[in-house]
Structure 1
Amino acid sequence: MKFFTLHFIGLILLCSILPGQAAVRRHKFVLQESSHTRLCTNKTMLTINGQFPGPTIYARKGDLVIVDVYNQADHNITIHWHGVKMPRYPWSDGPEYVTQCPIRPGTKFSQRIVLSDEEGTLWWHAHSEWSRASVYGALIILPEKRNSYPFPKPHAEVPILLGEWWNSDVQEVMEEFLASGGDPNVSNAFLINGQPGDLYSCSRQDTFKVTVEFGKTYLLRMVNAVMNNIMFFKIANHNVTIVGSDGAYTKPLKSDYITISPGQTIDFLLEANQPPSHYYMASRVYASAGNFQNTTTTAIIEYKGNYTPPSSPFLPTFPDFNDTIASHNFTNKLRSLSNKKYPIEVPLNITNTLFFTLSINLRPCGNNSCGGPFQERLLASVNNLTMQLPKTDILQAYYKGISGIYETNFPINPPLSFNYTQNFVPRELWRPENGTDAIVLEYNSTVELVFQGTNTVSGIDHPMHIHGYSFYVVGSGFGNFDKNEDPKRYNLVDPPLMETIAVPRSGWTAIRFRANNPGVWFMHCHFERHVSWGMGMVFIVKNGKGPNEQMLPPPLDMPKC
């Protein structure tokens, strides 16, 4: 098999692997400010090794990857390895003031990325303020050397990273919307592999292209690195076969479109079976509420052969931008591969039952001066608690027994029951409380967590992500969750194994996982504006009794606050 070495990937350090033996792979990440041009605009932005998107890391299942992160910019930074469980080692997980203090300018941190059962496409990104708008890249985990894919060997593999571009400084965008209390300014374009595509005249010559041969099959590994939107994706005149998501294999699913949430990855096979020509692969937003960028980003599938290419490639048609049913139906069709070689272990006897409401909120401003509805400040919450990040990271406080940094009384149910999905929720229910709270879980306990969307202020989807864990998505639906009836329809046979799941607008999603990874783990919405507004909380998983059931000690070069 060959791998496309794309212009944005740069040098990839690959080590040989001895049979039956995991490798240690080492990379150097240099955070720096570098100049990049899109949409006829040149600006300086934070990058890793000067690349946008950043370098792709290849590893094999079970490897140890060491990334030496050098901060040569004038911003604090953290790097999160999205979807990597980091067994017993939360120290390199990355969320700012949750598991680490930021890497300050002029300092270095060697992050140990401990791979375990992940296999497929994951990614890495900055996890401090809004730096991930430009600091991100793919993390591709190949099967162990002795194993192959559970699908026919593709002719080649291509990473596809969906991102976006602001003509202005994204840090200023963040600071302005947090100061105003309103919604952030939308970006100027979406991107495929760093390029907006040839629907933008200034970028036509740089449009990303994939060259294919008729009759051959290609594995495309897609990451949604967009900041605030779920995305639809299609390839004109072609169906695709989904074979993986979030670092786990799925039953093959044929579809003419894909819905992918921020933080999520989708692996799919493209069979080059159409008349040789040029075809657009394209992506546009799915948005059930809020402001959004309503343009289409494109790349080109270019067949080899002797033919006259069209003056304009064929462009796919999309579901409507607010088609919640289309978005939910795609995600709801995913199933775990669930066979002898790739078994699943859905927890059946649940010891912790959690019910989390996900809400957009409002809080009054002085002199009614904020930019949100009714001149109030927009916030977000889980169980009506808006998370306040401390200035000492929670993991250090937990490990060292430092008091006063966080509480352990996060509510396992919302403080008040109401009709969460009615069209108009009374305004007195829009007010959140502040908190830095965690839920403590016993080692090896089993968890069922139901996410319930609410329509306070405005109902919207929420792509929820849990650090340190993958989870089984056992059910979802619209309206208010019915604890007596809805569990009867759970899929406990082959539910998808994911680490980011979109909770549908005016609906609910149920997940299950086993708390067997000790440490401090962040849970949050992956819409960047929502986590900035406070839609997050923390799980603390206690040590088990055995020596291999306990959190490992911190590295000596752990960043200090």
Structure 2
Amino acid sequence: MGWWLKYCSLWTVMTIIVSLVQAEDPYRFFDWRVTYGNIYPLGIPQRGILINGQFPGPEIYSVTNDNLIINVHNDLDEPFLLSWNGVQLRKNSYQDGVYGTTCPIPPGKNYTYAIQVKDQIGSFFYFPSLAFHKAAGAFGGLRVLSRPRIPVPFPEPAGDFTFLIGDWYSHHDHKNLKALLDRGHRLPFPDKVLINGNGVSFSSSLTVHKGKTYRFRISNVGLQHSLNFKIVDHQMKLVEVEGTHTIQSMYSSLDIHVGQSYSVLVTMDQPEKDYSIVVATRFAAKKILVGSTLHYSNSRQSLSSASLSARGPADELDWSIKQARSIRTNLTASGPRPNPQGSYHYGLINISRTLVLESSAGLVKRKQRYAINGVSFVHSDTPLKLADYFNIRGVFKVGSIPDQPRRGGGIRLDTAVMGANHRAFIEIVFQNREKIVQSYHLDGYSFWVVGMDRGTWSHASRREYNLMDAVSRSTTQVYPESWTAVYVALDNVGMWNLRSEFWARQYLGQQLYLRVYSSVHSLRDEYLVPKNALLCGRASNMQRPIITP
């Protein structure tokens, strides 16, 4: 076999090795066609973005370590990309599906994503990441089930349901919303809240059986608003948050912020009648709510809109902060592997760097912009990851955004890229001096939410950190005039998007890219650019390098 290795490129050999290693894990194939079409979230037609004619899109069912091969045909009249919210693409930011890492799929073309849900379990979702497509649909649920031999810390439920909830514009096309932002305006208040693409109260029903326990996976796929989810007269047992089994506390309702996913168990232990499932805006000047029906199989009593109520706690903020702090990791439960979730003692690792990221809003050339540490992100003409791979100069500069907020100077425009070393262990503090709840997400990672409180973060705030069983997740809220601190182990080489989940803020600059770099170029740390990768911008004419021994 030595003569064969001598004449093969290293690339070919490594590709075969990786294929052989991955061959042990199952493959699941999907063929999706993305089109415009009429949707009826409020009973009247409006233009939406469909996947295989569906709104919301098809749900992905998978098992830990599955390889997902998703061929996406773009039949829209503009470029399109899908991203995978909460899925940790190990060593493979090329498949992340955001413009900083991936060339958009041109109209009339297709691209095949090849992703592995490596060492993951839990409830996630996918969504369209370009322009304002998210306001038109093309989102769907993504669940990763545990392998049969790995114990799950609760009995098998009688049913497993996905609830995609989010605020919605029924009177504005997604292109009109984008045009508003491009002209420097803010978005109007949304018109409705949807449950699985439906905004008409009690037009949908979920049938359950007395005495049975069911699992509800709830994701906020909306554009801006925090939402509260409850099932009237029923308690919800929280069991999983974005891939982490949690301490199984009981809640009468849950605040779910933009980009977040929760998984609860609900036992049907009430008298046999119909009950409201209520989703309502939280921390908003105007209440919007929608209801669905939980129908006991022997129920003789139906619901009407009169039974829909948005009553909540007198102090929403204190109530929500207390609830957020109560969500913790179940240290005795197995994760995607047989070892306990608590075997990684994050609280005993020394922090190598602290980032303090502060949001701001303001006008730049008389147009609305949003920023982190005074820098409002603007896209380059070439995806950053491709520019990094092909060593194309002038596309971005590492360190174009500071580690700490700078006072004064207003907002400047730049392609914000922050450098970080592979295997560093860092602290990120999200400081919010604004009077709104915010939500942040980091692609490619989960982080430990170690602390949150009102006011301004300081080094003394660390005394209140949870260094034992903080929940590990990929999206966290930051309350008004408050801070949230997270710990991150940078074990995933690549170019990773850190963004506001408020889509107008993300679109108008409240994001950056974290370049996690290793000087040792090895397939153990990062895969090569995919053979089918679309090349665009200054990378259009690049040839994928072949390294010979």
TM-score, with structure 1 as normaliser: 0.86
Check conservation: 2:170, 2:191, Cα contact below 8 A.
yes
Counterpart of 1:355, as a letter, is V
The structural deviation recorded for 1:76 is 1.0
Residues 357 and 334 from structure 1, CA distance in 2 versus in 1: closer, same or farther, beyond 3 angstroms?
A: same
Matched, 1:211 2:207: yes
| Structure 2 residue matching 1:38: 3-state secondary structure | coil
Check conservation: 2:245, 2:333, Cα contact below 8 A.
no
> Of 103, 107, 113, which aligns to 1:111?
113
After superposition, residues 165-314 of structure 1 pair within 5 angstroms as 165-198=168-201, 207-287=203-283, 294-305=287-298, 307-309=300-302, 314=307
> Of 504, 507, 525, which aligns to 2:500?
525
1:488-508 CA-to-partner distances (Å, cap 9, x unmatched) read 111010000010000111000
Any gaps of 5 or more consecutive residues in structure 1?
A: 1-19, 199-203, 366-376, 417-428
| Structure 1 residue matching 2:210: 3-state secondary structure | coil
The structural deviation recorded for 1:466 is 0.3
Check conservation: 1:120, 1:246, Cα contact below 8 A.
yes
Any gaps of 5 or more consecutive residues in structure 2?
A: 1-22, 335-339, 537-549
1:78-98 CA-to-partner distances (Å, cap 9, x unmatched) read 1101111111111110112x0
Residues 555 and 316 from structure 1, CA distance in 2 versus in 1: closer, same or farther, beyond 3 angstroms?
A: same
Cα RMSD (Å): 2.0
> Of 432, 437, 442, which aligns to 1:461?
437
After superposition, residues 367-406 of structure 1 pair within 5 angstroms as 377-406=367-396
> Of 405, 416, 421, which aligns to 1:414?
405
What residue is the counterpart of 1:37 in the other structure? 40
After superposition, residues 83-122 of structure 1 pair within 5 angstroms as 83-96=86-99, 98-122=100-124
The structural deviation recorded for 1:462 is 1.4
After the TM superposition, which parts of structure 1 deviate over 6 Å for at least 4 consecutive aligned residues? Answer: none
Distance 1:440 1:523 in 2: 12
Counterpart of 2:111, as a letter, is F
1:323-362 CA-to-partner distances (Å, cap 9, x unmatched) read 2222322222110111263323216211121111112223
The structural deviation recorded for 1:321 is 9.7
| Structure 2 residue matching 1:486: 3-state secondary structure | helix
The structural deviation recorded for 1:379 is 1.5
| Structure 1 residue matching 2:389: 3-state secondary structure | helix
Counterpart of 2:483, as a letter, is W
1:113-141 CA-to-partner distances (Å, cap 9, x unmatched) read 22122211011111101112211000010
What residue is the counterpart of 1:15 in the other structure? none
Counterpart of 1:386, as a letter, is S
What residue is the counterpart of 2:412 in the other structure? 433
Check conservation: 1:236, 1:316, Cα contact below 8 A.
no
Identity of aligned residues (%): 24
After superposition, residues 437-452 of structure 1 pair within 5 angstroms as 437-452=416-431
The structural deviation recorded for 1:189 is 1.3
Check conservation: 2:329, 2:471, Cα contact below 8 A.
yes
Distance 1:156 1:340 in 2: 21
> Of 512, 531, 535, which aligns to 1:560?
535
1:505-537 CA-to-partner distances (Å, cap 9, x unmatched) read 100011011111111000000000111121011
| Structure 1 residue matching 2:62: 3-state secondary structure | strand
The structural deviation recorded for 1:310 is 5.1
Matched, 1:129 2:135: no
| Structure 1 residue matching 2:398: 3-state secondary structure | coil
Residues 449 and 38 from structure 1, CA distance in 2 versus in 1: closer, same or farther, beyond 3 angstroms?
A: closer
Distance 2:160 2:410 in 1: 48
TM-score, with structure 2 as normaliser: 0.88
The structural deviation recorded for 1:148 is 3.9
Residues 211 and 75 from structure 1, CA distance in 2 versus in 1: closer, same or farther, beyond 3 angstroms?
A: same
What residue is the counterpart of 2:18 in the other structure? none
Check conservation: 1:378, 1:533, Cα contact below 8 A.
yes
Check conservation: 1:80, 1:95, Cα contact below 8 A.
yes
What residue is the counterpart of 1:142 in the other structure? 145
Check conservation: 2:56, 2:138, Cα contact below 8 A.
yes
Check conservation: 1:76, 1:103, Cα contact below 8 A.
yes
The structural deviation recorded for 1:443 is 1.2
What residue is the counterpart of 1:14 in the other structure? none
Distance 2:276 2:425 in 1: 45
The structural deviation recorded for 1:312 is 5.8
Matched, 1:47 2:53: no
Residues 327 and 182 from structure 1, CA distance in 2 versus in 1: closer, same or farther, beyond 3 angstroms?
A: farther
The structural deviation recorded for 1:314 is 4.4
Residues 154 and 297 from structure 1, CA distance in 2 versus in 1: closer, same or farther, beyond 3 angstroms?
A: same
The structural deviation recorded for 1:380 is 1.0
Residues 526 and 311 from structure 1, CA distance in 2 versus in 1: closer, same or farther, beyond 3 angstroms?
A: closer
What residue is the counterpart of 1:370 in the other structure? none
Residues 67 and 306 from structure 1, CA distance in 2 versus in 1: closer, same or farther, beyond 3 angstroms?
A: closer
